[in-house]
């Protein structure tokens, strides 16, 4: 099977690439802007100009059977773009739609799109969980762009018969993770007291290995065609539980101070960080039963195993 992968130099795409190269029978082509940024051993490398509505993908689509589209402009905490939504649309919407339309023209059988749980929204309440069938409610420009891309892909699927599979991950972690998850590991490993011991909100997470296993399952599973799947590790954690278990994995017990969530929100508001506090204090849980039942799939890696692997990678650095 011939597979075209975008985003092969990214956090998720790099693991997809490594898994696919090891999979017997798969001939992988990675579309990149700079070939020096990717290890080309065991795969083909196709050079593209970027990810916009003007990109010509024809030279890398020839002879392919499947497209896995993981390239995107990702969520930016402090966006410097003059018009963030416009910038997200140019890449995540226009770029994805152009790739999909050309893919359909070249007879690509299936287009696997890595979206985001932000299409569903930013938080769940009163023990509720997001499902793949909920009415989308994105809030930020990144989530809006991902929803618009999904909608465009579904139109192309209906018009052309090309199968589209949409996967919405929750927060992804694993070896090499950056941003807030890496900051938490740094704080815990340094023994910094953290005022998060009273945060018992629940969060769904997904480790790289589980996400990539699902993506590869969706390459050729008959039941995946034209479906939307949410994905997590299948075990939700509170912020305080996550920090405690990270401490165990790092060999450095987390030093948690019990500060009520309300006080954290007040303090963050005073410091101009209200949105960050909401993300920290709110719950975000997903129901992956549709994913598991439709595909006969279960997350192959436990949370404990995934945290241990992530911690080992961090400590080795």
Nearest residue to 200 via CA among 276, 256, 275, 248? 256
Token pair listed for 151? 């909608």
| Angle, CA of 89, 94 and 5, to the nearest 5° | 110
Phi-psi label, residue 253: left if phi above 0, alpha if psi -120 to 50, beta otherwise: beta
Residue tagged active-site, from 113, 125, 142, 314:
142
3-state secondary structure of 174: coil
- Written as one string, the DSSP assignment of 112-131 is EEE--GGGT-S-B-TT--B-
| 142 catalytic residue (yes or no) | yes
Measured CA to CA in angstroms, residue 317 lies from 175, 186, 242, 247, 250 at distances of: 10, 12, 21, 17, 13
3-state secondary structure of 196: coil
Whether the CB-CB separation of 120 and 65 falls below 8 Å is answered with: no
Please report, to the nearest 10 degrees, the dihedral formed by the alpha carbons of residues 186, 191, 197, 203 taken in order: 20
Whether the CB-CB separation of 149 and 119 falls below 8 Å is answered with: no
Edge to edge, the sheet with strand 66-69 lists 44-47, 27-32, 2-6, 66-69, 110-114, 163-169, 228-231
The CA distance from 171 to 168, in Å, is: 10
Give me the active site residues, please: 142
């Amino acid at each position: 099977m011939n597979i075209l992968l975008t985003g092969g130099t990214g956090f998720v795409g790099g693991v997809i690439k490594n898994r696919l190269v090891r999979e017997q029978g798969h001939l992988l082509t990675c579309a990149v802007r700079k070939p020096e940024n990717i290890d080309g051993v065991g795969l083909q490398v196709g050079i593209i100009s970027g990810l916009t509505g003007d990109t010509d993908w024809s030279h890398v689509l020839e002879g392919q059977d499947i497209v896995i589209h993981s390239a995107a402009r990702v969520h930016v905490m402090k966006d410097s773009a003059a018009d963030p939504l416009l910038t997200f649309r140019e890449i995540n919407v226009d770029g994805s739609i152009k790739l999909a339309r050309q893919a359909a023209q070249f007879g690509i059988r299936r287009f696997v799109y890595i979206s985001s749980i932000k299409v569903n929204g930013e938080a769940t309440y009163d023990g509720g969980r997001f499902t793949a069938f909920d009415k989308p409610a994105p809030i930020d420009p990144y989530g809006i762009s991902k929803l618009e891309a999904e909608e465009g892909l579904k139109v192309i699927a209906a018009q052309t018969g090309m199968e589209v599979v949409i996967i919405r991950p929750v927060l992804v972690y694993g070896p090499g993770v950056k941003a807030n998850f890496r900051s938490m590991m740094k704080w815990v490993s340094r023994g910094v007291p953290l005022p998060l011991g009273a945060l018992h909100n629940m969060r769904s997470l997904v480790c790289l290995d589980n996400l990539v296993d699902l993506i590869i399952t969706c390459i050729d599973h008959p039941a995946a065609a034209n479906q939307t799947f949410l994905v997590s590790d299948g075990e939700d954690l509170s912020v305080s539980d996550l920090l405690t278990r990270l401490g165990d994995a790092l060999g450095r017990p987390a030093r948690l101070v019990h500060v009520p969530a309300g006080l954290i929100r007040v303090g963050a508001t005073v410091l101009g960080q209200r949105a960050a506090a909401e993300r920290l204090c709110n719950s975000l849980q997903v129901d992956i039963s549709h994913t598991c039942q439709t595909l006969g799939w279960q997350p192959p890696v436990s949370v404990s195993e995934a945290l241990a692997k992530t911690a080992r990678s961090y400590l080795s650095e």
